[in-house]
Amino acid sequence: MKIIDQLRRVFNRNPKNLILRDSYISNDLNIGCLKFAEVCYYNILHILTSLIDDVDLKKVGKKTDALEVAYFKRFISLDGQFILDQLYDQGYSVIKLPTRNSPLTSGYHVMNRNEYNITTTEGTNFKITPINCKDDEIYVLKSDTFRELGISDKQLLYPILKYIDNLLNSSNTLTERLGTLIVASPKNLNNAPTSIVLTEEDKNELEEEMSKQYGSLRNQKQILLLPREMSFENINLSGVDQKLEEKLKIGLEIIADRLKVPANKIAVIDASSSKALSNGSELIAGDSMLYKSFERLLNHTIIRMADYLGIKIDYTIYNKPINNTGELDNGQN
């Protein structure tokens, strides 16, 4: 039963008796849902994955094919961050390998989802089959989270991302509506509120309808009209946002912790809130932790792939802190 029907039954009035004393009531309440969490998630993720631009790959040993290393290095330079982003977004990245006899013309290629089929075999294991050329040789990079849980880090963070979306969309809705809530209530001739006793059935049905249709989120309504003469009152909701920053920090810290990004690298979060960082060394320690996280990621992905392909390489990470004074690595080994 619709909420207006519930109210008609409770108040036993004809809608024709409804009198609106205000000359204008806004119906433009469909503000919609903005993807705030996506912005927060990728801002934090790219703090980590963008460090691939600081990596210099180099061949190891005289027997290593310099041209093969050059092809691989160029591929990582162009698509390295995209590959790492995919690992966190979907848990894996499918890479088409160059043809052995013509690596220059075929090249490496990060495959789109419409270029291959997936057949699940057992647990987190699956088979990838290219659609256009089934003889193409491919390599599948998997994140540690996907290997362990069968889902990506982003999927694992879904409840937190939804929390941030709800939090910021609610705040945005209050801002769009000038921070006020209109309360409309029936009144008697003496302007006193009308007393109504609800049955348990009325109460449950009305609460269910109210929770779905009315509130400060997305497409929910904020004006409730009853079928009789109404009294309108504005309530200032500016106080609702007082703990917004604190709540947002909680969500961002959970994302940062999952992605192994030090909290003090995130602009919204104070350095003092980053765990285990103190004594005035927050920024230096944060940089060290960030590069340590990235180096682990690099070894578990790009370097592992190179080993699989038989490409003997080493790497230097530029701008990496090399001691407790914050001195940076300038690439000289």
Residue 186 lies in a domain: yes
Under the banding of pLDDT at 50, 70 and 90, the label for residue 314 is very high
pLDDT at 317: 94
Per the document, the length of the chain is 333
Please check whether residue 209 is in contact with residue 201, taking contact to mean a CB–CB distance below 8 angstroms: no
Number of structural domains the chain divides into: 1
Residue 72 lies in a domain: no
> The tokens of 95 are what?
């890479």
Phi and psi for 277 in degrees, rounded to 5?
A: -115, 120
pLDDT at 290: 92
Which residues span the domain enclosing 206? 3-30+180-236
> The tokens of 130 are what?
């290219």
Residue 219 lies in a domain: yes
> CA–CA separation, 137 vs 144, rounded Å?
23
pTM above 0.95, yes or no: no
pLDDT reading at 225 higher than 60: no
pLDDT at 119: 83
pLDDT per position as a tens digit, 128-137:
888 887 678 8
β 109-110/92-96 pair status: antiparallel
Rounded mean pLDDT of 291-317? 94
Residue 98 lies in a domain: no
> The tokens of 262 are what?
């030090």
> CA–CA separation, 81 vs 331, rounded Å?
20
Residue 195 lies in a domain: yes
Residue 223 lies in a domain: yes
Please check whether residue 207 is in contact with residue 167, taking contact to mean a CB–CB distance below 8 angstroms: no
pLDDT at 197: 62
Q: Exposure pattern of 166-203 as b/e (b: 16+ CB <10 Å)?
A: bbbbbbbbbeebebebbebebeeeeeeeeeeeeeeeee
pLDDT reading at 122 higher than 50: yes
Residue 212 lies in a domain: yes
Average pLDDT over the chain, rounded to whole?
Answer: 75
Contacts of 76 (CB under 8 A, 6+ apart): 52, 55, 57, 83, 302
Residue 217 lies in a domain: yes
At residue 285, what is the residue type? A
Stronger pLDDT, 9 or 169, i.e. the higher one: 169
Q: Which helix (H) or strand (E) holds 126?
A: strand 125-130
CA separation, residue 274 to residues 51, 83, 100, 293, 320 (Å): 21, 28, 48, 15, 20
Residue among 8, 4, 125, 93 at smallest CA distance from 305? 93
pLDDT reading at 242 higher than 70: no
